[in-house]
């Protein structure tokens, strides 16, 4: 009996805690999340616009890159109403990313509108590793309303995903498609239109 009561108390706490964390982000940081999982990282909050009823899972990292080393950026990260992010989603914006209303984002998804380049070897043999390179290839990403991005997908700079699309699990997407479609693969391609 005591064990059952303790289990119910624990389950109640697990349901209530994300809402309390959401309220804390709203009050302390003016970021109107509805529910927030554990260990959320938000960087560049002034460049992030969040719609109503947005929920975020555990371990998410949402970043508007204002400065990187000696580079400055003016990012716009727009998250529409009722967007739902599962655990360990990483969004990194140096230019512009728009997540349309009602998007469902699976676990371990990366959405980034820039890259670090690759290992560079100078004529004298000295190397510059990607971490020390400037951010390059910045290009906007637009994900249409009602899109479902399945677990493990990667959405790269320059992508435009049509309303109501489905991005397959573990896909690597750098595609521009305005129509709703099933998009999958690495590299991803349109498998069929809706």
118-136, pLDDT tens digit by residue?
A: 666 677 777 777 777 888 8
State yes or no: pLDDT of 30 exceeds 50: yes
Q: Residue 4 — pLDDT band, cuts 50, 70, 90?
A: low
Amino acid 71: pLDDT: 86
Question: What pLDDT is stored for residue 120 in this prediction?
Answer: 65
Using alpha carbons, list the distances in angstroms from residue 79 to 66, 103, 184: 17, 9, 23
List beta partners, residue 90.
Answer: 61, 110
Between 93 and 133, name the one with better pLDDT: 93
**Mean pLDDT computed over every residue of the chain:** 87
With a cut of 70, say whether residue 15 has pLDDT above it.
Answer: no
What pLDDT is stored for residue 7 in this prediction? 44
Interacting residues of 185 by C-beta distance below 8 A, sequence separation 6+: 168, 171, 172, 191
- Pick the more confident residue, 2 or 70: 70
- What secondary structure letter does DSSP report for 169? T
Task: Tell me whether residue 149 is exposed, middle or buried, using C-beta atoms within 10 angstroms of its C-beta: 0 to 12, 13 to 18, 19 or more.
Answer: buried
> Is the model more confident about 8 or about 180?
180
pLDDT, position 14: 55
CB-side neighbour CA atoms (13 Å) of 24: 10
Max Cα-Cα span within the chain: 74
User: Does the structure show a pLDDT above 50 at 9?
Assistant: no
Domains parsed from the chain with CATH numbers = 2-193 (2.160.10.10)
Q: How far is CA 185 from CA 101, 113, 166, 170, 172, in A?
A: 25, 19, 12, 7, 6
């Amino acid at each position: 009996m005591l064990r059952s009561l303790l289990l119910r108390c624990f389950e109640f706490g697990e349901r209530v805690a994300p809402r309390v964390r959401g309220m804390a982000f709203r009050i302390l940081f003016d970021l109107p999340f509805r529910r927030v999982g554990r260990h959320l990282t938000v960087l560049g909050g002034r460049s992030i616009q969040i719609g109503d009823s947005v929920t975020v899972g555990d371990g998410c990292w949402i970043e508007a890159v204002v400065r990187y080393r000696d580079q400055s950026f003016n990012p716009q990260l727009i998250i529409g109403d009722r967007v739902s992010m599962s655990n360990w989603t990483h969004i990194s914006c140096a230019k512009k990313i728009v997540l349309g209303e009602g998007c469902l984002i699976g676990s371990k998804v990366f959405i980034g509108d820039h890259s670090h380049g690759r290992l560079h070897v100078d004529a004298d043999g000295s190397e510059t590793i990607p971490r020390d390179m400037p951010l390059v290839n910045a290009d906007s990403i637009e994900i249409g309303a009602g899109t479902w991005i399945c677990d493990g997908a990667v959405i790269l700079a320059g992508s435009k995903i049509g309303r109501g699309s489905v991005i397959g699990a573990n896909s690597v997407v750098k595609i521009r498609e305005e129509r709703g479609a099933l998009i999958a693969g690495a590299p991803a391609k349109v498998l069929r239109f809706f």
